[in-house]
Amino acid sequence: MTKLAELSDRGVIALEGADRVAFLQGLVSNDVAEVKPGRAVFAALLTPQGRFLADFLIFSDGERLWLDGARAGIADLIRRLGRYRLRMAVTLAEAGPAWRVYAAWDGPPPRDVPQDALAAPDPRHARAGTRILSPTPLTANADAEAFDRHRLCLGLPDGRRDLEAEKTLLLEARYDELNAISWTKGCYMGQELTARTRYRGLVKRRLIPVAVEGPLPPPGTAILADGAEIGTLRSGRDGFALALLPNPLPAAGPFTCAESRLTPRADPA
């Protein structure tokens, strides 16, 4: 049976105006022109130096663009994007409090999605499921913790928990594998370093999924190989986690992290 959970830690931003696509196109890592009703795009906002600031899913209802992002970062994201409006015909605002974000997975999309909702396959992974933005409450049969375990099983990062703002490169976080980067659309903020990192193969560390044997250490705990620190643990739950480790790995593992052992999961799919 399809699982459906409300993600209360996610918020929604509405972009309106004739220049909404052109405005966002020059700022984010993916091709906003690909967003259509029923088709969402995953993208990131970077610093001019190519470091991570925020990520979000972009939806369209044909008249507006909608960003599904971390609720704790909504105000900051609106402020940062607003700096670049200049004279463009676009407005940004947090969607009304009725708007909620849902995830559906382990089955077909729900049939009873309201007509005023926006639904699209989660573009990050074939098994990620369906993402739904709705101003009408839906009846959930799972909780956010269940979806958190699902995304960890698939190796999907949570930007605010797993990446370091103004430090992490998109390719370090495997955003190239998660369909967050367009290599053909042209310039956007931070594009130069992102492209150079790819073409020169300068990815010295990667955020990869690991299996945890033992108590789950807190995020930021050092990961050791033969007694030497090689990386740090990021978010985790129920025996699954993400870890920032050297690329390539110095060994196949397992590695130690506090009282636990970590084993890289080469294919979370």
Tally the residues of the chain: 269
pLDDT at residue number 268:
58
pLDDT along the chain (269 residues), means of 10: 97 98 98 98 97 98 98 97 94 95 95 93 97 96 97 96 97 97 95 92 93 97 95 97 95 91 79
Widest CA span in the chain = 58
SS3 content of the chain, % helix, strand, coil (to 5): 15, 35, 50
pLDDT at residue number 217:
97
- What are the structural domains of the chain? 3-152 (3.30.1360.120), 159-264 (2.40.30.160)
Q: Which amino acid is at 33?
A: A
Nearest Cα to 56, choosing from 89, 97, 24, 33?
Answer: 24
